[in-house]
Structure 1
């Protein structure tokens, strides 16, 4: 299938962002197959969304319904990706919640370079960690067991630590050289597995390939390896994909998208009662009726008496205490005083006298 979104991608590198080139992406798609009906694919650093949109189109051509989710830190790229993918969050990956083991495919082309080191050595590590490893550790749990990993990183990042982590959590691991070597990238495929021990064979093979000590296949049009089968998304896994913090533009966009599912369209129905005429009760209110009305804030506004006196009133309920004293005569003739304090709620109405005259503006209290 011809790549249909590459013309939309802008060729710029910023903040460690290296977009997946067309040749590498074409090779990746040739190694992805599926017989599933429903897939969920995730890109935790999706850039402008082009690569994941290509993967979605490719898998949909194979007959699957595909949900594509992306996360991007850069504002401009994130909003471009929102036009291509089903859901994109503009946020730092550490502020995003992705449900564990909910993805069929994890497409991971993380930022390249070192994170900021802890010069003061206030943390566990004084030496800066690689961004590639940080993103891998933060996002790999989102891939279901049996799900397919596509990892694109510079080959020199695959050291003893990184190779051990991959060999522990994945099987059917293959290491390829990217056809475009401007950034010295390799492409690693694998299938997530349940294990707590690294496969030493996989670890050794990756280290040898990364160090140039083994023959490595280039992921180009001549690569005829058996493709990976992307599995069905878990039927019982409810999608959990949201940011811990959200900015105003994303909130506005989300409210517009979900407008039919909110109460905003029913605003007039829910709050239109305030415009109705007030009808007097059939009978005189009792004391507890008055207390409930005051507590609910229903007694307020302009009140005009038959005498012409006008008040701006606001009702409230004040908590007070009622004191009662009881004297108890003991058997020995002594007297004991017992004091009981009972909480009571006293209705109160305060008003401002608006009647023209000497009392204009006076504060009055009605109990």
Structure 2
């Protein structure tokens, strides 16, 4: 994958716009419905397909739904699609048999191993999950690296659950970077899924895609397929009964919390009250209280008006006094005990209206 680093943004593979243009020419939409991209990224490919796929009825009302884990990409997708939920797809609750068209370009990775759980490929997990969301007769467009189609579970699932199948590689402009292929198939109707000669033939073909030589020789590029084959996307339901995430975003609750009475009580109890100095005291302060107020600096500044106008500054002076005491012991000797104590005094300076400075200690 020579230039794949330049094609990856924020850890996901966005389907190239050119491949979306080719893909759109392989479909025609019958009518209304909801189209779904379960790992939609920025939502651009599904939006592109909606605009480019021809409709038998131009008045068709087609909605586009997406799910995206990343917050930033989901925000962009909201501008492109009808409805987007920011959530891991694993946390979504979605009605089965809801969508006539699913575009699936899942993460290319292994699942995490937890305790003794078995490691699975995410491509298979999402294929299995999203087949359930597709209506019988609905169309799946499945985009993964070519060699992953040789995964026996993926090959078996596609061969068993889909008919009218086609497999194409990206056109040469992008294939060397991505090595991706597109599977298109129509989901079989009914619960019984036979695995006969036709299914076995498709299964064997997919397994052979493990080698690049086979892909280059037998898998048709998508731009060459145009005009030779197309798929009709059936009409679908006007709404999905269930489509939400089990995980709730904290922003869903913030407005209610901030406006609740309990939060207001909490703020009042947690906030340090502001001390306001001003007005007349309930009782006039005595000399000692006045000295403390002056010494602590609470009433520093301007006092009085006119002839009684003063500028006052109070200061507390802390000194240490030492004292000693002699004690005559029974054996005739003297014991001297030294003690220290802290002495606090108040120094007050005042500037009178005529400029005289007085100091009170």
Q: Do these two structures clear the TM 0.5 threshold for a shared fold by scoring above it?
A: yes
Cα distance change, pair 60–241 in 1 and its aligned pair in 2 (3 A) = farther
Q: Which runs of 4+ in 1 moved over 6 A?
A: none
Q: Is the 8 A contact 1:175 1:209 kept in 2?
A: no
Aligned mates of 1:32, 1:234 — CA distance in 2: 19
Q: Which residue of the partner structure matches residue 30 of structure 1? A: 25
Q: How many angstroms apart in 2 are the aligned matches of 1:252 and 1:28?
A: 42
Number of the residue aligned with 1:345: none
Give, in whole Å, the separation in 2 of the partners of 1:142 and 1:52. Answer: 16
Matched, 1:178 2:197: no
TM-score by length of 2: 0.61
Q: Larger C-alpha radius of gyration, 1 or 2?
A: 2
- Out of 170, 193, 197, the position equivalent to 1:196 is 193
Cα deviation code 1:15-63 (max 9, x no counterpart): 3x10000221111101111222x02100000000000111122247652
Match of 2:44 among 39, 43, 50: 50
Runs of 5+ in structure 2 lacking a partner?
1-5, 257-361
Higher relative contact order (CA 8 A, sep 6+): 2
From the superposition, tell whether residues 183 and 107 of structure 1 become closer, same or farther in structure 2 (CA, over 3 Å): same
Distance 1:238 1:82, change over 3 A: closer
Q: Is the helix fraction higher in 1 or 2?
A: 2
Partner of 1:141 in structure 2? 132
* Correspondence list, 1:188-267, <5 A: 188-193=183-188, 194=190, 195-198=192-195, 199-211=199-211, 212-213=213-214, 215-220=218-223, 223-234=226-237, 238-249=240-251
- Alignment of 1:167 with 2:163, yes or no, is no
- State the SS of the aligned residue for 2:159: helix
- Check 1:143–1:12 CA distance in 2 against 1; reply closer, same or farther (3 A cut): same
SS at match of 2:154: helix
SS at match of 1:220: helix
- Equivalent residue for 2:142, pick from 151, 155, 158: 151
What TM-score does the superposition give when structure 1 sets the normalisation length? 0.60
Structure 1 unaligned segments of length 5 or more: list them: 1-9, 256-367
Tell me: CA distance 1:190–1:251, structure 2 relative to 1, closer, same or farther (3 Å). farther
RMSD over equivalenced CA pairs, Å: 2.5
SS at match of 1:28: helix
Q: How many residues are matched?
A: 238
Aligned partner of 2:13 in structure 1 is 18
- 1:1-367 correspondence to structure 2 within 5 Å: 12-15=8-11, 17-36=12-31, 38-59=32-53, 63=58, 64-118=60-114, 120=115, 122-123=116-117, 125=118, 128-158=119-149, 159-179=151-171, 180-181=174-175, 182-193=177-188, 194=190, 195-198=192-195, 199-211=199-211, 212-213=213-214, 215-220=218-223, 223-234=226-237, 238-249=240-251
Residues in 1 aligned to 2:210 and 2:221: alpha-carbon distance in whole angstroms: 13
